[in-house]
Amino acid sequence: MPGFELFGDQERKEVNDVLDSGVLMRYGFDGMRNGHWKAKELESELCKTFQTEHVQLVSSGTAAVSVALASAGVGAGDEVIMPSFTFVASFEAILMLGAIPVLVDIDDTLTLDPKAVEAAITPKTKAVMIVHMCGSMGDLNALQAICTKHNLLLVEDACQAIGGTYNGQPLGSIGDLGCFSFDFVKTITCGEGGAVITNNKDYYINADHYSDHGHDHDGNDRGAETHPFLGYNFRISELNAAVGLAQVKRLPEFIAIQKKHYTILRDAIARVPGVTFRKVPKGGEESYAFLNFFLPDLEVARNVTEAFKANDIDVCWNYYDNNWHYIRKWDHLKNIKSLFPMSSEIKQGLANLQNKTFEQSDHYIGRNISCLIKLSWTEAEVNERASRMVEVIEASI
């Protein structure tokens, strides 16, 4: 991670196909294309990769979450349970629909705590959204059981976990809908792009129409298409899809490299007393895009983070003080700093965030160090990095 580290001839060929045809839009202009339909081809490849019936490409991972929820009927006043540790796009995508994000604690998987989810369910709850942060998953069996019991949607945000599996199934394919990001720093990238996946044909048709202004995509005359319902513009371009088409074919190659580098680092750090690792549920296999480990307390984690920086050990973070990924710094959400007026339901739903505490999440995020796994490292560089990381951690504990 990320896939741009290994751009090569495959990506150039696919992009040049689009430039040679001159058609950058995924819909229409059939006669000019010379048979090139990169978005359609990528959707077909992703169906095979994710072992799912339907894939709808969209413009970003954020768009994927909004499109997925809208396609299943989530909207104004509905509550969507989500984790306190995620990217800001998670609540942005929910708010875009007029729905209410309900934040709950994570556990030692760094994803949703099923007990916290069950405690947060109200008559307004419509969906539970698990975010597979940093390449791994939560207890999907428990979450599925909760959703079945309460007749709720289970939505998987697998934007950071492409290539991970749970009981042999690709992450994203287990819930009612799955969401992916292919932005510039993901394991496979389109530059910008995302996808909604599902085995529910109705949700897929809704996503297909909704992401393109409500077009029904019936026939081959775009101007003659009707609009069964309102939609918006969340389309991906052919140029972005072309890059992704080359990258998805390389996913096994990328995952193998990530696993190799991850394993070298983990095996070295595991020998340091006081270090433990995030829990991976039974039956789960990470995507190996990140290595996450826990230190004894927040002070040690902060010291190690600073020491990593001082010793030029890059791409390692403690998210406790991070502006993008953890509830502590989301003042714009807590104080509802919006350019446009929010509904009274959203204001009421978010009111408790100003005073709500997340002690359990603090306990895990405060002690966690998350290290991105680069594809471009050589084995020698990984081994040297492992030795330096061990030295720094041992000196700080």
Q: Write out pLDDT tens, residues 244-254.
A: 999 999 999 99
Q: How confident is residue 111, by pLDDT bands cut at 50, 70 and 90?
A: very high
Q: How confident is residue 157, by pLDDT bands cut at 50, 70 and 90?
A: very high
Q: How confident is residue 152, by pLDDT bands cut at 50, 70 and 90?
A: very high
Q: Write out pLDDT tens, residues 53-93.
A: 999 999 999 999 999 999 999 999 999 999 999 999 999 99
Percent of the chain scored above 70 by pLDDT? Answer: 100
- Helix ranges, the chain (H): 9-21, 38-50, 61-71, 89-95, 114-120, 140-150, 201-210, 238-248, 251-269, 298-310, 331-334, 344-350, 359-365, 379-396
Q: Write out pLDDT tens, residues 6-39.
A: 999 999 999 999 999 999 999 999 999 999 999 9
Q: How confident is residue 348, by pLDDT bands cut at 50, 70 and 90?
A: very high
- Catalytic-labelled residue, pool 186, 279, 282, 347: 186
Which residues sit opposite 101 in a β-bridge? 80
What tokens does 47 get? 């169906």
Q: Write out pLDDT tens, residues 173-216.
A: 999 999 999 999 999 999 999 999 999 999 999 999 999 999 99
Q: What is the pLDDT of residue 62?
A: 98
Q: From residue 363, how far is each of 99, 101, 135, 158, 358 by CA, in Å?
A: 29, 22, 20, 24, 9
pTM over 0.75: yes
Q: Is 126 a catalytic residue?
A: no
> Structural domains in the chain?
3-250 (3.40.640.10), 252-396 (3.90.1150.10)
Q: What is the pLDDT of residue 386?
A: 98
Q: How confident is residue 353, by pLDDT bands cut at 50, 70 and 90?
A: very high
Residue 80 belongs to what H/E stretch?
strand 79-83
Output the CA angle 261-265-269, nearest 5 degrees.
Answer: 170
Q: How confident is residue 243, by pLDDT bands cut at 50, 70 and 90?
A: very high
Average pLDDT (305-310) is 98
Shortest CA distance to 232 belongs to which of 208, 267, 202, 200? 208
What tokens does 25 get? 């839009």
Decide if 55 contacts 46 (C-beta within 8 A): yes
Q: Write out pLDDT tens, residues 358-372.
A: 999 999 999 999 999
169: helix, coil or strand?
Answer: strand
Cα gap 53→380, rounded to integer Å: 42
Q: What is the pLDDT of residue 187?
A: 98
Q: What is the pLDDT of residue 114?
A: 98
Q: What is the pLDDT of residue 153?
A: 99
Mean pLDDT of the chain: 97
